[in-house]
Amino acid sequence: MNERITFISTSKELQTKVLKFIEEWNSADSFITVHTSGSTGMPKEIRILKDHMIISAKKTLAYFTISPGQNALLCLSPDTIAGKMMIVRSIVGNLNLFVTDVSSNPLNQIIERIDFVALVPLQVEELLKSEEQKLKNIQTILIGGGPISTALSSKLNLAEIQAYHSYGMTETISHVAIRPVGKNEKDIFEALNGIDFSTKNHQLVVHYPEIGHSFLTTNDIVELVDNQHFKFIGRSDFMINSGGLKLNPETIENLLSPLFNTPFFVAGIEDQKLGQKLILLIEGTTSLAPTLFELKSILPKYHDPKEMYFIPKFVRTESGKINRGETLKLIQL
């Protein structure tokens, strides 16, 4: 595999991590040790069988019809399951793997044609500003690691870029469902071959027997279309109970996203009267943010934030997700 890797990155640490993972992959051990993202709690250490990672890689390569000899780009941390799986897909699919720094603009130093890349929403936002043409030239753009806002989808559509939003988790070894975003966008996720879905108390249940998950209950609230398709509603552990009203942060954030050019999220904090009250957290110290009155004017009744906080820098996980719990701790109440 080493002869099919090109390091664009000058980071010795990153190169060492990639080569160390390949060494681990080629070892006699039947498993790889990984950690969950930690976006909603403490990261957990789990072992994943290499055979299961190969199954996952083959499903992705088949779904997107990615062929041997094509060029893949690794611009996510190899410490995460997303980064590890890009390496595994390159090995299994006989792809040429280019490795660049984990940054908001991973295409900056790329002059080669890239056929397949996995990105987080923050990277897509930045690339649309600075490397739109390079982004357009990529055959398969896979976006994961968090929700895609309406504003970002609109920007992709305006640029006539076809991308794909992935749904998955460390336990499922990367994604189990895909939906198109930007050009030809759909709000329904479709299962990869051999995977089925059901619900339990409105939470998604993944049936993926090939990797040992006959009945994996997630924390995600969905609207089930059939056993192959669902619409994502939001995480059950993000839900806010304010005065007896259940508020879904991700729905509210989607409505607010056109107003913001900086990361933000809404959350609930303890309130003597309401039980929990809705607040808005914005990354940065900009004075250009909309007022609470402006927010109230575009949101359904009782769905408007009661307070607004500016945080210089959100806490993020290794995979780039906003760690809502740790970021909330930065508020001086």
HEC string of 138-204 equals: CCEEEECCCCCCHHHHHHHHHCCCEEEEEEEEHHHCEEEEEEEEECCCCCCEEECCCCEEEEECCEE
- Say whether 85 sits in a helix, a strand or coil: helix
Is the pLDDT score of 333 beyond 60?
no
pLDDT for the residue numbered 243: 81
Percent of the chain with pLDDT over 70: 96
pLDDT for the residue numbered 37: 63
pLDDT for the residue numbered 291: 86
How far is Cα 164 from Cα 141, in angstroms, rounded to an integer? 6
Confidence (pTM): 0.82
Is the pLDDT score of 191 beyond 90?
yes
pLDDT for the residue numbered 332: 59
pLDDT for the residue numbered 43: 67
Domain 239-328, CATH: 3.30.300.30
Structure tokens at 258: 């056109």
How far is Cα 256 from Cα 266, in angstroms, rounded to an integer? 10
Phi, psi dihedrals of residue 65, rounded to the nearest 5°? 50, 55
CB-based contact 34:52 (threshold 8 Å) = no
What single DSSP character describes residue 2?
A: G
Is the pLDDT score of 2 beyond 70?
no
How far is Cα 290 from Cα 305, in angstroms, rounded to an integer? 12
> Per residue in 272-308, pLDDT tens?
788 899 999 999 877 678 888 888 889 998 899 999 9
Q: How confident is the model at residue 165 (pLDDT cuts 50, 70, 90)?
A: very high
What value does the mean pLDDT take over residues 1-9?
A: 79
> Per residue in 240-281, pLDDT tens?
988 878 899 988 998 998 888 888 999 998 887 888 999 999
Beta-carbon contacts of residue 209 (< 8 Å; ≥ 6 apart): none
> Per residue in 98-148, pLDDT tens?
999 998 899 998 999 999 999 998 899 899 999 999 999 999 999 998 888
Q: Please return the burial class of 111, using the count of CB atoms within 10 Å of its CB with bins 0-12, 13-18 and 19+.
A: exposed
Is the pLDDT score of 1 beyond 70?
no
Tally of CB atoms within 10 A around 63: 16
pLDDT for the residue numbered 264: 92
Could you tell me which CATH class the domain 2-193 is placed in?
A: alpha beta
Report the mean per-residue pLDDT for the chain.
90
Beta-carbon contacts of residue 103 (< 8 Å; ≥ 6 apart): 75, 123
Q: Please return the burial class of 239, using the count of CB atoms within 10 Å of its CB with bins 0-12, 13-18 and 19+.
A: middle
> Per residue in 33-57, pLDDT tens?
887 765 545 667 889 999 999 999 9
- Delimit the domains of the chain by residue range: 2-193, 239-328
What value does the mean pLDDT take over residues 5-28?
A: 92
CB-based contact 172:145 (threshold 8 Å) = no
Is the pLDDT score of 59 beyond 70?
yes
Structure tokens at 308: 């607004």
Q: How confident is the model at residue 213 (pLDDT cuts 50, 70, 90)?
A: very high
